[in-house]
Amino acid sequence: MPVEVLTEIWAHNKSHPSVLGRIPQVCRTWKDLATDTPTLWANLYITESTDIPLLRTWIKRSKETDLNISINFREAAYGRWLSQDAPNHSQKFVAIMDSLCPFSARWYRFEVFGPDYLAVLLRTALVSALPIPRLAFLSIIPDEPPSGTPAVVPTNTIFQNCPALFDIEISSYPLPWDAFPFQSLTALTLGPTVVQNSLTWNTFAQALEDSRNLQSIGFTGALPSIRGHDHLALTLPAVSSLSLALLRASDLQHISSYLLLPQLTSLALSLPHQEDDFLPFLQQIPLHFPHLLSLEIDEVRLHEEAVGDSLHSFFLQFSVLTHLSLDLRDKEGNTQLFWRSLIHHAHEQHFLPALKKIDVPLLSIQDLLELRQQANRHLLTIVVYHPDYPLTFDHLPVFTTWLVDNTRSLVLHRGPKRPSVRGSGVLHIH
């Protein structure tokens, strides 16, 4: 087998350290080839059980390649953050950072998943690692941090030595809010611990008002606190992508009122297990974001009476939408009722006239055939996923005959997450 093919196969398993660790043990040829391929060793997934000498070996093998670092201090068996009282977790974290910091000039992506008690240690390590000239992605994400964590008030000049940083995802921050280089960011995602930690909407708006480069913004779990009646309207002229997850209906109304995104072309909503009626916000989407090219609605639950004229008029307002990923459900979590309504109108001339790609759940064979027959003639790509229905061989004739229709592409995906799609005229099965 050509070495180029072999290393490409290995590269597809680079996210599994156990696989890469065994490759050099197969034979001398594989060992020499693997150790002489730096990109194989540049993705460092580190846990509390990572062997420090092995970590240093991987770093050495990566040579001058940019490093993608992910530190995850959680118990794999239970998915809970490690206790602060564990005797050696802090020492292990310090040892890991001591191994990584000498190579901070090669850090490209740096992620930390762990409890808030690591914040002081992380702050100290980041300061000692400066400068970090290639760092582009920073992610600090705890989940259910321990209560009673002492406040951390570190330096606010740390990112002046990270000139390449443009993408930040933070659910909790061991740094003051004004430490982040908002003027240079192109992507920002905020989690609930950040926005609930005394971050008001006005403070948030003032920090981002000069963010002329910001292109993508996301909120998960909550918005910055909105109190009283005197709120700043924030206009972000370059933002083209907005992601909203696990928010309340009232939060969505605040987005409509105080966040102005004149160039927004992509909107993603993920609102599972909510009891609010989101139809009023959905109806406002075409008014507030008239230039949408991509709309993803994931597990939004509506009352059954939303089916019919309201849903129909909602989609009639999207004249330029090219990608629709739709997972509307009733209160019991069923998708069928909404899809029957959508399929019923799919043949209309003014119903999503620019649509080229659609993501749908795996419906009945009859519904899929009707969608194929009635869908707009410009529709080129259909992604079918199946959270509710099992895939059977009875569906295969439907999928295979689908491909006969010009250059349409059908992607069949197992599970609720829709994959990215490239090319056309091909049946992909995941």
Asked if residue 65 is part of any domain, the answer here is yes
pLDDT recorded at residue 90: 77
pLDDT recorded at residue 145: 46
pLDDT recorded at residue 421: 33
pLDDT recorded at residue 61: 82
Asked if residue 76 is part of any domain, the answer here is yes
Asked if residue 89 is part of any domain, the answer here is yes
Reported as a single tens digit per residue, the pLDDT across 185-204 is 888 888 776 555 567 888 88
Where in the sequence is the domain holding 160, given as residue range(s)? Answer: 42-145+154-181
Asked if residue 124 is part of any domain, the answer here is yes
pTM of the model: 0.72
Asked if residue 239 is part of any domain, the answer here is no
Number of compact structural domains in the chain: 1
Using the structure block, give the residue that is written with the tokens 């951390």. Answer: 152
pLDDT recorded at residue 148: 45
Least confident of 26-40, 316-330, 351-365, 401-415: 401-415
Give first-to-last CA distance, the chain, whole Å: 26
Asked if residue 69 is part of any domain, the answer here is yes
Of 230 and 84, more confident: 230
Asked if residue 24 is part of any domain, the answer here is no
Report the pLDDT averaged over residues 176-183.
71
pLDDT recorded at residue 422: 33
| Distances, alpha carbon 252 to alpha carbons 155, 220, 231, 255, 270, in Å | 34, 12, 15, 5, 12
Strands 80-81 and 74-75: antiparallel
Using the structure block, give the residue that is written with the tokens 């050696």. Answer: 88
pLDDT recorded at residue 403: 46
What band does 267 get if pLDDT is binned at 50, 70 and 90?
A: very high
Report the pLDDT averaged over residues 297-324.
74
Of 248 and 98, more confident: 98
User: Which residues, at least 6 apart from 13, have a Cβ–Cβ distance to it below 8 Å?
Assistant: 19, 20
Of 93 and 115, more confident: 93
Asked if residue 116 is part of any domain, the answer here is yes
